[in-house]
Amino acid sequence: MPYASLGGRRFYYEVGGEGETVLLLHGSFADADLLEAPATAVSSGFRALRFDRRGHGRSSDAPEPLSLADEAAEMAALLDWFSTGKTHLFAHDDGAEVAVQFALDFPARTLSLALLAPTLEGFPWKDQTLAARRDLLSVFARSPRAAIEEKWLTSPAFDVVRALEGPFERLQTLYGRARVAGGSLARPAHPGPTQAERLGEIRTRTIVLVGDREGSERLRCAAAIVQGIRGAEGTTFAGASRFLHIEDPHHVMRRLTDFYIPPEE
């Protein structure tokens, strides 16, 4: 299997295609396989690079929660390993927080942001949402299998994809491999303003994609990102939810193609 060795740690990756780089970032409990289909589509015109974030999949462990700055720095190191200066970012779920941090910390290296069903550090989540997240992590610490099977896969996030023949079974297998919680659900506190307070600093082209069957808080979070980043575009897909790139791949990838390769004026 292909690995990049960075600072004594190993990062599993998949790469395909040629052209400008698109770096794909998965969310918590997942790995790079979740983004195989969009990576394949993107690789027709770009170099698509997806990897298992540290603490996930086949990459090295993250015994302690990682800060967003640490993960952004690891992304920069990975790009250096591939001799890549600048990149487009394609991020799903709370992988979006890592992408946003990279855009804040390395603006000169960020060509664009495409955020699918994103979360955002500093967004005012409801108390019940935060309590459910803490409960999920608590159960995961005792029994990863129970947390995934009894809490995560039964959550409303999977309602749409659960009705599709084949994709849900593949997601069951993928999330069933989760071995650590990673840092994205329990990050260490950091000084200074949150991402939600810094969105106005981002100047790169940005698109935010959500499904209209996503939870109301996620929809509000997506709207906050579009409002906070100057010139950001927002697109909502009918009948889709958390895994819109799997639930409605044709329309999602067509919209992303239009974003990455805008028509000539």
Is 244 inside any structural domain?
yes
Query: The pTM is what?
Result: 0.96
Is 48 inside any structural domain?
yes
Task: Return the CATH number at 20.
Answer: 3.40.50.1820
Is 224 inside any structural domain?
yes
Average pLDDT over residues 192-208: 97
Is 64 inside any structural domain?
yes
pLDDT of 5 higher than 60? yes
Task: Report pLDDT digits (tens) over 130-158.
Answer: 999 889 988 998 899 999 999 999 999 99
Of 27-31, 61-65, 70-74, 138-142, the one with minimum mean pLDDT is 61-65
Tell me how many domains the chain contains. 1
The phi, psi pair for 252, rounded to 5°, reads -65, -50
- Spatial neighbors of 176 by CB under 8 A, at least 6 apart, are 145, 148, 149
The token duo for 254 is 């067509």
Q: Which domain holds residue 18?
A: 3-260
Is 59 inside any structural domain?
yes
Confidence of residue 261 (pLDDT cuts 50, 70, 90): confident
Task: Report pLDDT digits (tens) over 166-188.
Answer: 999 999 999 999 986 555 667 88
Q: What is the model's pLDDT at position 185?
A: 67
Average pLDDT over residues 49-60: 93
Is 265 inside any structural domain?
no
Q: What is the distance of C-alpha 117 from the center of its chain?
A: 8
Q: What is the model's pLDDT at position 182?
A: 53
Q: What is the model's pLDDT at position 141?
A: 86
Is 65 inside any structural domain?
yes
